């Protein structure tokens, strides 16, 4: 993506989408955003809101006027529009399923008219209840029962992947799928259960850091700038089309240790409060003890490895987070 292009970004007012938009504009591209602002925010675009090469359309993708024309006029599409956050998923399962399926179908149908390349963002949630030490893209997937709404998000995003690859095979759409693992950084909100901004806000407010479960579950966090770099490289790589890639960090940390690192970074004295999952989310909620991606495949295709270590991720996120953030 070196030469100037016209890029369509769905969900471009969201956390990752806004960072992606800034990178695209800085590289000289023209960007059109489609976002219904249900979880995204105009504040995320404040730094570029008056940019002459940015156009923002407030709409859902599936009901966007002239969607076909917008996609036809694009050199590439980044599809990030989706329901986000475990809390939102548990509280609003109908919205989660309908949003993830209908918006993806609409963008793929439009892209199929003239095979506009689509980078489709998926999620590590599709790995479900797998107990593997490290997840690879060809793993079998183990999803929980449908009576537990927590799995509706994983299933809807997995259907997005199936649909994307079906359009690739049947309609010739150049689809690349990125399974994103725990991306964090400036502008991420704790409103929908995201753990790092919640911890930062709690320390600043002198409140207890609410750690769900026993805190021994581990995750690998990736700085948003690294995630954006991976998405840009994947979209620019013809060999990546028709493939699925993990995008994430590999520095594993328990959620309890993450809370301690936030306290150490901000110099707070807040206590840790351990909250049962049933109380935090819903009865029968299941969480994964470990979620670590293999990034061998993405490194093989585009040479990507995350560059920002966890301690610096916390520092950068805290430095850019307003004191009133919650």
Residue whose C-alpha is closest to residue 84's, from 130, 129, 17? 17
Q: Say if residue 225's pLDDT is above 90.
A: yes
- Between 117 and 145, the higher pLDDT residue: 117
- The residue ranking higher by pLDDT, 150 or 192, is 150
Q: Kindly list the domain boundaries of the chain, sorted by start residue.
A: 6-182+224-248+295-306
Per-residue confidence band for 1, with pLDDT thresholds at 50, 70 and 90: low
86 with 192: CB under 8 angstroms?
A: yes
Class of the CATH domain delimited by 6-182+224-248+295-306: alpha beta
Q: Does the pLDDT at position 107 exceed 70? A: yes
pLDDT tens digits, one per residue of 269-313: 899 999 987 787 766 667 788 999 999 999 999 999 999 999 999
* Per-residue pLDDT band at 326 (split at 50, 70, 90): very low
Measured in whole angstroms, the distance separating CA 72 from the mean position of its chain's CA atoms is: 25
Each residue's pLDDT tens digit, 156-177: 999 999 999 999 999 999 999 9
Q: Are 181 and 220 a contacting pair, CB within 8 Å?
A: yes
Say which residues have a Cβ less than 8 Å from residue 230's Cβ, sequence separation at least 6.
178, 245, 247, 298, 302, 304
Radius of gyration over alpha carbons of the chain, in Å?
A: 19
Average pLDDT estimate for 102-108: 97
As annotated, the active-site residues are: 153
CA distance linking residue 10 with residue 56, whole number of Å: 10
Query: What is the pLDDT averaged over residues 118-134?
Result: 94
Q: What is the DSSP string of 181-203?
A: --EE-TT--STT--HHHHHHHHH
Query: For residue 69, what are the contacts with CB-CB under 8 A and spacing of at least 6?
Result: none
Q: Please give the model's pTM, rounded to 2 decimal places.
A: 0.94
Which pLDDT score, from 0 to 100, does residue 86 have?
64
E strand spans, the chain = 6-10, 30-35, 54-58, 76-79, 118-123, 175-180, 183-184, 209-212, 218-220, 222-223, 244-247, 252-254, 272-275, 290-291
Query: What is the rounded average pLDDT for all residues in the chain?
Result: 92
Overall average pLDDT of the 144-166 stretch: 90
Strand partners, 9: 33, 78
Q: Report pLDDT digits (tens) over 182-206.
A: 999 999 987 766 899 999 999 999 9
CA-to-CA separations, 232 to 31, 69, 87, 110, 247, in angstroms, rounded: 14, 23, 29, 21, 12
Distance in angstroms (rounded) separating the CA atoms of residues 234 and 247? 10
Spatial neighbors of 292 by CB under 8 A, at least 6 apart, are 133, 134, 135, 218, 220, 250, 252
């Amino acid at each position: 993506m070196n030469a100037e292009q016209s890029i369509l970004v769905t969900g471009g007012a969201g956390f990752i989408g806004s960072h992606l938009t800034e990178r695209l504009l800085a590289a000289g591209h023209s960007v059109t955003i489609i976002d219904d602002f249900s979880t995204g925010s105009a504040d995320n675009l404040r730094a570029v809101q008056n940019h002459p090469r940015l156009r923002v359309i407030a709409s859902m993708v599936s009901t966007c006027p002239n969607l076909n024309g917008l996609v036809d006029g694009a050199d590439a599409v980044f599809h990030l529009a989706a329901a986000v956050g475990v809390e939102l998923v548990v509280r609003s399962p109908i919205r989660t399923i309908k949003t993830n399926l209908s918006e993806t179908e609409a963008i793929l149908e439009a892209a199929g008219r003239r095979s506009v390349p689509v980078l489709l963002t998926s999620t590590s949630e599709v790995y479900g209840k797998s107990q593997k030490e490290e997840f690879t893209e060809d793993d079998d997937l183990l999803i929980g029962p449908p009576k537990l709404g927590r799995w509706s998000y994983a299933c809807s995003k997995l259907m997005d992947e199936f649909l994307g690859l079906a359009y690739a095979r049947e309609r010739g759409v150049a689809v690349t799928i990125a399974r994103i693992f725990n991306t964090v950084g400036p502008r991420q909100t704790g409103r929908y259960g995201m753990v790092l901004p919640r911890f930062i806000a709690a320390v600043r407010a002198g409140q207890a850091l609410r750690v769900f479960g026993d805190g021994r579950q581990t995750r690998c966090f990736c700085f948003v700038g690294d995630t954006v770099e991976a998405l840009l490289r994947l979209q620019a790589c013809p060999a990546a089309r028709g493939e699925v890639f993990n995008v994430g960090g590999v520095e594993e940390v328990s959620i309890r240790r993450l809370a301690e690192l936030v306290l150490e970074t901000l110099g707070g004295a807040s206590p840790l409060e351990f909250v049962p999952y049933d109380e935090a989310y819903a009865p029968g909620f299941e969480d994964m003890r470990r979620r670590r991606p293999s990034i061998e495949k993405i490194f093989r295709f585009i040479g990507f490895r995350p560059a920002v270590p966890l301690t610096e991720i916390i520092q950068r996120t805290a430095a850019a987070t307003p004191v009133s953030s919650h």
